[in-house]
Structure 1
Amino acid sequence: MNRAFKFSLVMVLALMMILAGCGNKKENAGGNGAASNTGAGNTQTSDEAKKGADIKVGLVTDIGGVNDKSFNQSSWEALEALSKEQGIQHKYLQSNSSADYIPNLNQFVQGGYNLTWAIGFDLGDALKQVADANPNANLAIIDSVVDAPNVESITFAENEGAFLVGVVAGMTTKTNKVGFIGGAESPVIKRFEVGFQAGVKAVNPNAEVIPTYAGAYDKPDVGKSLASQLYNDGADIIFPAAGQTGNGVFNEAKARNNAGGTKVWVIGVDKDQSLEFGDDVTLTSMIKRVDVAVKNVTQQVIDGTFKGGTVTNLTLKDDGVGLPETSKKNVSQEILDKVEEYKQKIISGEITVPAE
């Protein structure tokens, strides 16, 4: 009896230790800021509560870089926001030359990322090669159309947005000379140029639009030099569509305005660039909702509804391009009313803005 009693006591103590251990594990599962699902009697960590916690998204920039204060930056900021909202894992690779495009894209694809973004027209050919070689990968591109069943292509009606800032420039210029600085010549940048010219001429047939190209998206010193020439030639407003190269245009304008003399302006591109360079030099900006496009397609991957093989063109009607609310700081209500008038005519089809 004594031996049986001792054996029973050992079993009771062992059972108590097991139960205590289970209790501790359950408590730890709910620690570290965990969200509790009291109705179901379960616990859930904050990461588990975020729908995209298991989703990995990679982004490859063109040579303008992720801090170009333009469309690369807008794209990255969209992924940053999704990381905070839904917990996606995200990373970017910056391309220093076109030779980096395929290796950078492949790094994400071969790394098992759920979605790989190519940002910019220049990455189109590289993405096509990667898409064909990796048919099971989910891929997406901004500003180019890639014909592949696993690629979503997002383009914008830059010509329509550029027309509207052309209206602003044509009604604001005091010298009747305005400039346009493109990065490298491409169909995308050409849409900016011809749309801008059409907008200026629509409201000011006597104004001269002087276009020039930098040949690069990552040369702010070149942008500054070209802006200096245009301002010296009498332009008082310049619209750059040149990525980081356009930052040099702002630098030149700021230097001139600080020195006194004729007031000069810059029209921002892709983002509301007054937030970066200030209202004293930014007349308005032509916004491309790249951030919205990146968030929407990435959300499809999170939701399991990715639509490869599709092309989406975002227009004025879609609110894909337009002017920011901050425009009212430097643009008169009369001019903004004229902008709205033309916007509605473009949306209705009364006006067709040239694209090339």
Structure 2
Amino acid sequence: MNQIQIPKENPMRARRLFTILAVLLSFAVVAAACGDSGGGDDNAEGQTTAPAAEDGGEVTTTVADGGASGDTFLVGKFADACDSFKDQVTVPDDFNIGLVTDIGKINDGTFNEGVYKGFAAAAECFGLENRFIETASEADYVTNLNSILDDNPEVVVTVGFMLASDTLEQAQAHPDVKYVGVDQFQPEYPDNYVGVLAADDQGGCMMGGFAGTLTESNVVGVVAGVEAVPPVVRFANAFKHCAELANPDVDVRIVYHESFTDVTGGAATAEQMLGEGADVIFGAGGPTGSSGIKTAAAKGAWVIGVDTDEYYTTFEGGAIEGADKLATSAIKDVGLGVFNQIAMALTGEFQSGIFTLTAANGGMDYAPAHDADLPADAVKALEDFRAGLADGSISTGVDPITGQPLDG
């Protein structure tokens, strides 16, 4: 079975040459689920907007030959992935794909955007007709999942933990459609449903070990999203465990919020943590967390992003005050996982079950420091924790399903 080896992308350590090989990426049952969400900019140029779905999100048709302003999506890892599969694939004339986002937009700088890039790269690589629906509210989930079927897609990608139950029902009701659920764990998957999951606890552990070394005050904080969402708990508790591994004297403050879009609350929590002496803040909760790190960075604290490289999103490529205080971000390479599953559907090798992103296969990784001038010991700790998680010598200290601390 051909699958894509997810590359490592760590510019903070000695750079490697990255190639994506068509090799077996093992499936492991790591329960992960998340619904990072948030607002974003208007739709990028090079896309045409169709009428909105009734009571649903915005319906947009992507262009197969590029992204914003005609730029291609087939760069870097996606270009290599396309090369590894394209000669093996004969695309049926009527093969098309669909995407339903979690609350937010495809250019909102969150999980939605990472998934969309992989979706759009696959559409461009294989010349696929495609359509996406941007979800406006939780009440729109079922409407949007029904609307995406209007074009009779062969593959439907859905984003986030909050869509898991509805996606399962759709997969059971439409056995001829293949469903790719990002961050969606199910005890059992129908034959037409795969969950692209991430070992969120490994990302949290990497960031915790880094923060525990980086802090000078020995107080660090996590501006977290919704506690009922398991990936958030895994991120936060693994962060705490590994911060304490790196620095037994560290005091880790974790504050959860009722929404992923509580930007006011996220900022207020960060200010409170700074007032309590925290000098490193990890944002793990969509725009809620992002507002926290934006506030903390502007006040001179070190901050850590999540899911995507927040230098390019929250800090607008260095244009926002405090960009030089963004130390790194915990990266989930969900886009390449989505590309992989669409390619597997085309080759006839699609398998139900779980496709897991880990430190070992490069699916959980860290972003470069960009403008931040980091101490050498913290940089070393970050890579040491990544490598230890990859080879199994470091444990995250939490249950990989619930995120609750392990005994002992």
Structure 1 and Structure 2 fold alike (TM over 0.5): yes
Distance between the aligned counterparts of 2:104 and 2:278, measured in 1? 26
Alignment of structure 1 residues 1-356 onto 2, 5 Å: 54-146=94-186, 147-185=189-227, 186-256=229-299, 263-276=300-313, 277=315, 278=318, 279-307=323-351, 309-326=352-369, 329-355=372-398, 356=404
The Cα offsets for residues 276-305 of structure 1, whole Å up to 9 and x where unpaired, read as 313413111100111111111111123332
Divergent runs of 4+, >4 A: 50-54
Q: What corresponds to 1:259 in structure 2?
A: none
Distance between the aligned counterparts of 2:222 and 2:259, measured in 1? 14
Name the amino acid aligned to 1:222: G
Distance between the aligned counterparts of 1:94 and 1:227, measured in 2? 29
Distance between the aligned counterparts of 2:370 and 2:136, measured in 1? 34
Q: What corresponds to 1:14 in structure 2?
A: none
**SS of the counterpart of 2:281?**
strand
* 1:335 CA displacement: 2.4
Name the amino acid aligned to 2:358: T
Distance between the aligned counterparts of 2:238 and 2:201, measured in 1? 4
Flag the 1:118–1:180 CA change in 2: closer, same or farther, 3 A. same
* 1:254 CA displacement: 4.5
**SS of the counterpart of 2:103?**
coil
**SS of the counterpart of 1:275?**
coil
Alignment check: 8 A CA contact 2:281 2:293 kept? no
Q: What corresponds to 1:21 in structure 2?
A: none
Alignment check: 8 A CA contact 1:63 1:218 kept? no
* TM-score, L = length of structure 1: 0.78
Flag the 1:327–1:203 CA change in 2: closer, same or farther, 3 A. farther
* 1:175 CA displacement: 1.7
**SS of the counterpart of 1:267?**
strand
Flag the 1:208–1:68 CA change in 2: closer, same or farther, 3 A. farther
* 1:59 CA displacement: 1.4
Quick one: higher RCO (CA 8 Å, sep 6+), 1 or 2?
2
**SS of the counterpart of 2:324?**
coil
Distance between the aligned counterparts of 1:349 and 1:327, measured in 2? 29
* 1:339 CA displacement: 2.7
Q: Name the larger-Rg structure.
A: 1
Distance between the aligned counterparts of 1:331 and 1:292, measured in 2? 29
Distance between the aligned counterparts of 2:104 and 2:274, measured in 1? 24
* 1:248 CA displacement: 1.3
Give 5+ residue unaligned stretches, structure 2. 1-88, 399-403
How many residue pairs match? The answer is 300
Flag the 1:302–1:329 CA change in 2: closer, same or farther, 3 A. farther
* 1:54 CA displacement: 4.7
Flag the 1:194–1:187 CA change in 2: closer, same or farther, 3 A. same
Higher helix share: 1
> For the aligned residues, what is the CA RMSD?
2.1
Alignment check: 8 A CA contact 2:202 2:364 kept? yes
Flag the 1:214–1:197 CA change in 2: closer, same or farther, 3 A. same
Alignment check: 8 A CA contact 2:157 2:179 kept? yes
Distance between the aligned counterparts of 2:245 and 2:265, measured in 1? 30
* 1:336 CA displacement: 2.5
The Cα offsets for residues 238-273 of structure 1, whole Å up to 9 and x where unpaired, read as 1111112223124313442xxxxxx21220101111
Alignment check: 8 A CA contact 1:144 1:154 kept? yes
Deviates more, 1:263-272 or 1:341-350: 341-350
The Cα offsets for residues 36-84 of structure 1, whole Å up to 9 and x where unpaired, read as xxxxxxxxxxxxxx96575322111222443331211101122222333
* TM-score, L = length of structure 2: 0.69
What fraction of aligned residue pairs are identical, expressed as a percent?
29
Give 5+ residue unaligned stretches, structure 1. 1-49, 257-262
Alignment check: 8 A CA contact 2:308 2:332 kept? yes
Distance between the aligned counterparts of 1:87 and 1:152, measured in 2? 23
**SS of the counterpart of 2:221?**
strand
Distance between the aligned counterparts of 1:80 and 1:326, measured in 2? 27
